[in-house]
Amino acid sequence: MAHVKVFDTTLRDGEQSPGVNLNKLEKLEIAKQLEKLGVDIMEAGFPASSQNEFESVQEIARTVKNSSVTGLARAKKSDIDTAWEALKDASEPRLHVFLATSPIHMTHKLKKTPDEVIETAVEMVEYARERFPQVEWSAEDACRSDKDFLVRIIEKVIEAGATVVNLPDTVGYTTPYEYGELFRYVKENVPNIDRVSLSCHCHDDLGMAVANSLAAIENGATQIEGTINGIGERAGNASIEEVAVALQIRNNFYEHSTNLVLNEIKRTSDLVSKFTGMVVPGNKAIVGKNAFAHESGIHQDGMMKNASTYEIITPEMVGIGASNMVLGKHSGRHAFEDKVKSLGYELSEEKLKEAFKAFKSLTDRKKDVTDEDLFTILTDVQTDSSDAAKYKLEAFQVQYSSANIPTATVAMTTPEYTRVETAGTGQGSVEAIYNTLEALIHEDIHLEDYRLSSVGEGRDALAEVHVRLTVNGTAASGRGAAQDVLEASANAFLNAVNRVILNQQLLNKQSAPV
């Protein structure tokens, strides 16, 4: 069986999803989980885009050992230099450099002739190879490029030292048949193509990203790029878990395998969904809540007689429904620590203490603490930059009755560590809290989106709120969990505000890396 490498770009292309902004700790957690999932390569970000991004990529490059870490660069020496600074400590530093090859991009965006584009691509790949052992070159908008021009430029970049050539369907325009043909054409006509990995990268604008990726594999692609849950710009990227499970379930047809540890899929999907605030639709293949639910009587009957009557994938294969042993009021520190370990978390002594405290306070109000609750508590503790100066909720009270105007009183500490307090009103309880918080924060804040969901089932389930807002024109998303919906709402609001404030502190503190 032939092997396909998995190149995950959740942290770069996925992070470009509208409204998504992950902080450094969240990116690091996702990177560690991607390593566990077994991705061959992970694109940690675009180091030249900001100081924050640079630091995230650097941290990931220094932490992850079993996957190759890469960063994106435009065809510019300064981008490549910055990427090298961020990636040089990785176990296998890799650069991903791109240049557009379609007439529409070359004429209107680059304002270069095809020959000038070849010259720049070659020069940049040669420059990158002076440092990086692995260099991937992408022909941006490959699917709307002239095939013979692609053949010419690919041969040249391979001569220049590229080790991977990627043919992205940047705008999500191609069809499985056409994309397969493109790979076959390149394989047949580029004389030195066997010296490199040939990669596919699909977007889902027409809902064909996964099908297109599989067509590329059938026609010679040896690397597939995509994201967890298929997140990404516009309609998103090819969903890695769908491609990997399709290759596994239909290996009699595709005859290709990946290195992915399939039963880490669910956890990876949950983590990405939680941090990005992008909810996985119930009917989504592989990881949707209903992907393994059987509703019709005939199906249920068949399932009870033999699961394979209507189930082609078992939930266990992708890590769903593994142990869900609950903890409760009487569970001690030892049981808690065992559970934390079995859920795959590695927490420092200090974070463990903090998590245990949160767990205990939850057991005061909730009888059974499930894996889902712990997942929420632990990931929140793990990604909380508790040492940073930020807004912190101290106490609040809301008065609501259907006859009066809702009023909130809020006390909190500011990033300057002073305690402030005020009261305000709103049309509803949440608005009253948000208006009051806004009055205390003195920044220009607009709420764009608010979503409330429950973690797990039951009346005493934790509430989780995701918000999207702009702070002085900068978009930020935030999340907060608590047993009470109002407290979760307040936490989510401050979480988003703090992201912007912390970013600004960083920007003021440091200058450009190189």
Residue pair 145/139 in contact (Cβ under 8 Å)? The answer is: yes
CA distance 336 to 355: 9
Nearer to Zn ion, 98 or 127 (CB): 98
Nearer to Zn ion, 9 or 134 (CB): 9
Start-end of H helices in 64-164:
77-87, 103-105, 114-129, 147-159
Angle at CA 170, nearest 5°, toward 263 and 259? Answer: 25
Nearer to Zn ion, 161 or 232 (CB): 232
- Residue numbers at the binding site for Zn ion (CB under 5 A): 13
Residue pair 225/9 in contact (Cβ under 8 Å)? The answer is: yes
Question: What is the b/e burial string over 160-193, where b = at least 16 CB atoms within 10 angstroms of the residue's CB?
Answer: bbbbbbbbbbbbbbbebeebbebbebbeeebeeb
Nearer to Zn ion, 139 or 327 (CB): 139
Nearer to Zn ion, 16 or 425 (CB): 16
Start-end of H helices in 24-140:
24-37, 51-63, 77-87, 103-105, 114-129
Q: Please, what is the minimum distance in Å from the beta carbon of residue 99 to Zn ion?
A: 14
C-alpha dist (Å) from residue 192 to 128, 187, 219, 353 = 20, 9, 17, 57
Nearer to Zn ion, 13 or 241 (CB): 13
Nearer to Zn ion, 14 or 277 (CB): 14
CA distance 86 to 90: 9
Nearer to Zn ion, 13 or 242 (CB): 13
CA distance 288 to 107: 42
C-alpha dist (Å) from residue 99 to 44, 138, 145, 297, 499 = 19, 6, 12, 54, 32
Nearer to Zn ion, 13 or 59 (CB): 13
Residue 484 DSSP symbol: S
- Name the nearest CA neighbour of 14 among 1, 26, 2: 26
Nearer to Zn ion, 233 or 380 (CB): 233
Amino acid at 184: R
Q: Please, what is the minimum distance in Å from the beta carbon of residue 72 to Zn ion?
A: 10
Number of neighbours of residue 33 by Cβ within 10 angstroms:
20
Q: Please, what is the minimum distance in Å from the beta carbon of residue 237 to Zn ion?
A: 6
Q: Please, what is the minimum distance in Å from the beta carbon of residue 232 to Zn ion?
A: 6
Minimal CB distance residue for Zn ion: 13
Residue pair 465/489 in contact (Cβ under 8 Å)? The answer is: yes
C-alpha dist (Å) from residue 426 to 59, 423, 431, 440, 448 = 43, 11, 5, 15, 17
Q: Please, what is the minimum distance in Å from the beta carbon of residue 204 to Zn ion?
A: 10
Q: Please, what is the minimum distance in Å from the beta carbon of residue 371 to Zn ion?
A: 33
CA distance 278 to 265: 16
Nearer to Zn ion, 47 or 424 (CB): 47
Q: Please, what is the minimum distance in Å from the beta carbon of residue 352 to Zn ion?
A: 38
Q: Please, what is the minimum distance in Å from the beta carbon of residue 9 to Zn ion?
A: 7
Give the strand order in the sheet containing 407-413: 392-399, 407-413, 419-425
Q: Please, what is the minimum distance in Å from the beta carbon of residue 244 to Zn ion?
A: 18
Q: Please, what is the minimum distance in Å from the beta carbon of residue 226 to Zn ion?
A: 9
Q: Please, what is the minimum distance in Å from the beta carbon of residue 468 to Zn ion?
A: 22
Residue pair 480/488 in contact (Cβ under 8 Å)? The answer is: yes
